[in-house]
Copies of this chain bind each other. A is one copy, B any other.
């Protein structure tokens, strides 16, 4: 059964259980998915309203972008747990002969690369989601301002949480170029996304205070 087909109650209970997956990777993808869904909602509450008519075209563009990113981030919830399960599967590989040991090590390094690349992809989607959300500020329904702020908070949580999930998978990977490149890419997304999230949140908070 897919995680996205669980009820909220069952997903949260499974998260809290003694099963190591789903864990922080899937939780971070859900944070990003609900973040961009809130941006989509605010677009739905703004498009067609007289007050925001001058931004109509841009609001529709943001809406389409948000809807697309939401679908991809929903998929990322299961992808992260699948990548984790691939790593777990390697633990049950035989390790008696030298050949078995070598095959196991190779499989582990490959599985960990997958487990690092999955949250890295979530980071990329989340930065795009933050860019879309930032465009909506000042052009959308002010009654739903807090919702755009909550969007930014969830996207930031998804971004930083995915970053931690990239980091935790790097130490077991033998390919040094992969490790270096992945770390650099993750840090670039982190820096860009955090700055966007902060700008959005501060603008919203100061408007509500």
Contacts and interface: CB of A to CB of B under 8 A. Distances in A.
Contacts of A66: 16
Contacts of A173: none
Contact of A34 (B12, B67, B205): B12
A50 interface: no
Contact of A149 (B15, B16, B164): B164
Contacts of A25: 150
Contacts of A208: 164, 167-168
Interface residues of A, number: 60
A78 to B, nearest CB: 10
Count identical subunits in the complex. Answer: 2
A20 to B, nearest CB: 6
B24 A146 contact: yes
A47 to B, nearest CB: 9
Interface in A134-174: 144-147, 149-151, 153-154, 156-157, 160-161, 164-165, 167-168
B70 A16 contact: yes
B4 A8 contact: yes
Contact of A164 (B7, B11, B24, B204): B204
B17 A150 contact: no
Contacts of A149: 24, 160-161, 164
Nearest to A20: B45
A157 B27 CA distance: 13
A13 to B, nearest CB: 7
B154 A167 contact: no
Interface in A1-55: 3-9, 11-13, 15-20, 23-25, 27-28, 30-31, 33-38, 40-41, 44-45
25 contacts: A4-B7, A6-B7, A8-B30, A8-B74, A12-B34, A12-B37, A12-B70, A15-B34, A15-B41, A16-B38, A16-B40, A16-B67, A18-B41, A23-B41, A23-B147, A24-B150, A27-B150, A31-B31, A31-B154, A146-B161, A146-B167, A149-B161, A153-B156, A156-B157, A167-B205
